[in-house]
Amino acid sequence: IGEIQRFLRDDGTVKVSRSIKESANKIRKMKEELTKTLGRVPTVNEIAKSLDMSPEDVVFAQEASRNLTSIHETVYE
Amino acid sequence: MKNIMKLAFSAISENESFARVAVGAFIAKLDPTMDELTEIKTVVSEAVTNAIIHGYPNEDNGMVKIEAELTDDTVRIMIQDEGVGMSNVEEARQPLYTSKPELERSGMGFTIMENFMDDVEIRSEPMVGTTVRLTKRLSKQKAMCN
Amino acid sequence: MKNIMKLAFSAISENESFARVAVGAFIAKLDPTMDELTEIKTVVSEAVTNAIIHGYPNEDNGMVKIEAELTDDTVRIMIQDEGVGMSNVEEARQPLYTSKPELERSGMGFTIMENFMDDVEIRSEPMVGTTVRLTKRLSKQKAMCN
Ligand SMILES: Nc1ncnc2c1ncn2[C@@H]1O[C@H](COP(=O)(O)OP(=O)(O)O)[C@@H](O)[C@H]1O
Ligand SMILES: Nc1ncnc2c1ncn2[C@@H]1O[C@H](COP(=O)(O)OP(=O)(O)O)[C@@H](O)[C@H]1O
Ligand SMILES: [Mg+2]
Ligand SMILES: [Mg+2]
């Protein structure tokens, strides 16, 4: 059961829309940073490793933020 | 309105996190909480891992199928393999039961599914395969402004 | 080793970003650059949007199919609908050509696909549907130490 509890995060009741936006910001910053240090565009794995995420989750977070931003814009602006 | 997706992919462990994210991305439009998303991704992992390591222990060309359906605030997910199947589903569902202790399996896969989902249905037939159906109703107290 | 995934989903525009993530997450294991990832997600968007708005203009139950295949550093993606089809594919491929100027379409979908992918093949038949096949070889100059 400890195993189950480990899956639960402290910020668990936060909406995906908000949490994902934070990850997406980190991805954007990490991409800029790595582009400078590597002198080229980083790969998905390079971003994933530096943020301790899975490459698939990098793809998801990046996309979800794009999507939610556009929903936000159409609904609230 | 009903929204459906069907997915099939090579039964190799590299595809496990792809399956988690694909299902996660599909349900994301219901705007679940992070807990709900984590729970759903976790149960998908468990069921997909089972299909890959237990369903197709010796096969290279096996495919895992997933179907997901969204209606209002309810998520239905089916995970299916056409692998070796099980003869005793009741035994397999017991907490800590594993047929592969040598692989350091925890035997907690089905227990995790039962904990995180509202309903878990398992059908299996030896030499035909295994179908797991999971249902979860998402909470409705949504944050209105973010 | 070949890795395959097949996907089918309701032809509704909410699923466009799901399709982008599903394909993006599937190819993530080839470790594309962030730019290659964006290119592939963009072409998937274009083809899926075409299937939804042009392929199924009046239908509610249409399904869009995607198949993707990874071999070494090559990604092959097929996007298919069983919608209205096209009678003149050559015309449709022209930059700026659109049959729906009233929807503020840019007419650049196929041009974008051709720019971002190494190969673009379109088959279409009126009343049968449209199949777009896209191929891209990923760059190999990757950092070796990971
Ligand atoms: N898809 C499947 N095909 C065949 N057998 C399965 C499948 N899923 C589960 N099982 C059987 O049920 C047992 C319990 O599964 P689970 O609770 O996930 O524990 P674990 O995977 O750690 O063994 C497995 O050890 C296996 O014998
Ligand atoms: N899946 C499809 N089914 C039917 N017609 C299509 C499909 N995809 C493209 N077309 C036709 O090709 C034209 C050009 O497509 P595209 O270059 O993406 O421009 P746009 O989508 O902006 O019109 C469309 O306007 C439409 O007439
Ligand atoms: Mg298991
Ligand atoms: Mg278009």
Q: Is the pLDDT of residue C120 over 90?
A: yes
CA-nearest of A9, A62, C74 to A54 is A62
A27 lies in a domain? yes
- pLDDT, tens digit (0-9, with 9 covering 90-100), for B46-93: 999 999 999 999 888 899 999 999 998 999 999 999 999 999 999 999
Q: B34 with A19: CB under 8 angstroms?
A: yes
| Greater model confidence, B139 or C80 | C80
Q: Is the pLDDT of residue B17 over 90?
A: yes
- Find the range with the poorest average confidence among A41-45, A66-70, B9-13, B128-132: A66-70
Q: Is the pLDDT of residue A71 over 60?
A: no
Q: Is the pLDDT of residue A77 over 50?
A: no
Q: Give pLDDT, residue A2.
A: 53
Burial group, residue C8, by CB count within 10 angstroms (0-12, 13-18, 19+): middle
Specify the amino acid at residue A42: P
3-state secondary structure of A54: coil
Q: Contact B15/C7, CB-based, under 8 Å?
A: no
User: What value does the mean pLDDT take over residues C19-48?
Assistant: 96
- pLDDT, tens digit (0-9, with 9 covering 90-100), for C70-93: 998 999 999 999 999 999 999 999
Q: Contact C17/B25, CB-based, under 8 Å?
A: yes
A1 lies in a domain? no
Q: Is the pLDDT of residue A5 over 70?
A: no
Compute CA A55 distance to the chain's CA centroid, rounded to the nearest angstrom. Answer: 10
Domains in chain C, CATH or no CATH each: 3-137 (3.30.565.10)
- pLDDT, tens digit (0-9, with 9 covering 90-100), for B23-46: 999 998 888 998 999 999 999 999
- Ligand 2 pocket check: which of C13, C54, C106, C132 to mutate, most ligand atoms within 8 Å of Cβ? C54
Give the count of alpha carbons within 13 A of C84, CB side only: 13
- pLDDT, tens digit (0-9, with 9 covering 90-100), for A7-17: 444 455 677 77
Catalytic site residue from B16, B36, B46, B82: B46
A50 lies in a domain? yes
Q: Contact A19/B143, CB-based, under 8 Å?
A: no
Number of structural domains, chain A? Answer: 1
CA-nearest of C70, C78, C77 to C31 is C70
Confidence of residue C101 (pLDDT cuts 50, 70, 90): confident
Q: Give pLDDT, residue B92.
A: 96
Q: Give pLDDT, residue B23.
A: 97
User: What value does the mean pLDDT take over residues C95-118?
Assistant: 92
Q: Is the pLDDT of residue B142 over 90?
A: no
Catalytic site residue from B59, B67, B93, B105: B105
Rounded to whole angstroms, the Cα distance separating C45 from C54 reads 13
CA-nearest of A76, A30, A73, A69 to A52 is A30
Q: Give contacts of C12 with chain B, Cβ < 8 Å.
A: 1, 3
Question: Catalytic site residues of C?
Answer: 46, 50, 105
A53 lies in a domain? yes
User: What value does the mean pLDDT take over residues C88-116?
Assistant: 92
How close C126 comes to chain A (CA, Å)? 33
Rounded to whole angstroms, the Cα distance separating B31 from C14 reads 13
ipTM value: 0.87
> What does residue B39 show for φ and ψ, rounded to 5 degrees?
-60, -45
Report chain C's mean pLDDT, rounded to a whole number.
Answer: 93
Q: Is the pLDDT of residue A56 over 70?
A: yes
User: What value does the mean pLDDT take over residues C38-67?
Assistant: 95
Q: Is the pLDDT of residue A70 over 70?
A: no
A36 lies in a domain? yes
Q: Give pLDDT, residue B143.
A: 44
A20 lies in a domain? yes
For A57, B20, B69, C25, C79, the CA distances from A52, given in Å and listed in that order, are 10, 17, 31, 16, 32
**Among residues of chain C, what percentage have pLDDT more than 90?**
84
**CB-based contact (8 Å) between C14 and chain B?**
yes
Q: Give pLDDT, residue A74.
A: 43
Q: Give pLDDT, residue A4.
A: 53
Specify the amino acid at residue A55: P
Place of tokens 């995180």: B116
Residue span of the structural domain in which A20 resides: 15-76
Confidence of residue B118 (pLDDT cuts 50, 70, 90): very high
Domain containing residue A33: CATH number: 1.10.10.10
Q: Is the pLDDT of residue C108 over 60?
A: yes
Q: Is the pLDDT of residue C16 over 90?
A: yes
A2 lies in a domain? no
Q: Give contacts of A14 with chain B, Cβ < 8 Å.
A: 33-34
